[in-house]
Amino acid sequence: MAQPKCHVYSKMNEDGDIEKAITKQPRKSKQDLNIPPEYFNLGMYLIVPIIIAVAVGIYLDNTFGTNGTFTLIGIVFGTISIFYNLYKLYKKG
């Protein structure tokens, strides 16, 4: 059976000298964290829908000459889509 690799790092001793230290346990890999890979894109699930919805709302407000009506609708729609994305992520993981 293969021995797990040890983690080697530098540390300072009591005299102030730098020495090499070796741990008995290997460094944890990404698989050991038990984090679903979808969670690494959590910022995209939260930020992108609201940015797109507000950008479309501002464009429609400028096109039709309304005073923020479409932007407000975009904010509401973006918020709803954020919660929908989080619900799908929760059910998946």
39-70 pLDDT, tens per residue?
788 888 889 999 999 999 999 999 999 999 99
The 8-class DSSP code of residue 12 comes to: E
Task: Give the pLDDT score at 47.
Answer: 92
Q: Which two tokens stand for residue 64?
A: 């039709």
Domain count, the chain: 1
Domain presence at residue 17: yes
Range of the domain at 64: 8-28+36-92
Residue 80 phi, psi (nearest 5):
-65, -40
Q: Which of 45, 46, 73, 44 is closest to 58 using CA atoms? A: 73
